[in-house]
Amino acid sequence: MADDVSLTTFLESLGSSAPAPGGGAASALAGALAAALAEMVAQLTVGRPKDAAVDERVRDAIERLRLARARLLQLMDDDEHAFRAVSAAYKLPKSDDDERAGRETAIQQALVEAMRPPLAVMSTACDVLTLAEELARIGNAAVASDAGCAAILGEAATRSAGLNVLANVVLLRDAVAASDARKQVEALESLASTLAQTTLAMVRRRMGLEP
């Protein structure tokens, strides 16, 4: 999301009849929220004498989460731009065979490019989930619930971004590219699910909800 666009403005655009921003940008925002929540857990852990043994790991997590958050905000814009490129390709003229062939080539190229932002969202969200899982284990127990919230949002970001990848996959004529994208989505969704479940189990233990 561009620095000069407020959250209120973005949500107004998201809820409008305009086709963009859409699910891809929303997925990236969910991932950025996950990163920010995990970072908060880290910030409330770092520098505490009782957590000195993990201080270096937590400081490293803060830096990585900041980078992930910035990356996910950039991917909000990247996803919208990629969608507009697909829309532009579909609007190309098709009055003769040459134009139709050129239009189809442009569409297919734009669809491949449009898969890149949501795949990057999935990958980055899984990085955030990995850090949230670590912070659920070693972070300040008083904010363990926030690590759990980060895990839930991170998994949601991954799964919703996956749907946006697949929305492009079903239109691809390149069977190899389509198969590869499906495999990537499946692997990242599986990883996100495992990390979220592990994190939430740890959170419940640290909150005293489970032995």
- Residues of the chain with pLDDT > 70: what percent? 98
Choose between 115 and 2: higher pLDDT. 115
> Which whole number is the average pLDDT over 19-28?
93
Q: What angle do CA 145, 55, 35 make, to 5 degrees?
A: 45
Is residue 75 within 8 Å of 26, Cβ to Cβ? no
Q: What is the DSSP string of 100-166?
A: HHHHHHHHHHHHHHHHHHHHHHHHHHHHHHHHHHHHHHHS-GGGHHHHHHHHHHHHHHHHHHHHHHH
The end-to-end CA distance of the chain, in Å, is 42
- Assigned fold of 22-206: Four Helix Bundle (Hemerythrin (Met), subunit A) (1.20.120)
Give the pLDDT confidence score for residue 150 in this predicted structure: 98
Is residue 137 within 8 Å of 41, Cβ to Cβ? no
Q: What angle do CA 95, 101, 105 make, to 5 degrees?
A: 130
pLDDT in tens, 126-144: 999 999 999 999 999 999 9
SS3 181: helix
pLDDT band at 210 (very low <50, low <70, confident <90, very high): confident
Instruction: Give the residue extent of every domain in the chain.
Output: 22-206
Quote the mean pLDDT of the chain: 95
**Dist. CA 11–CA 17, nearest whole Å:** 12
The sign of the torsion formed by the CA atoms of 92, 97, 102, 106 equals: positive
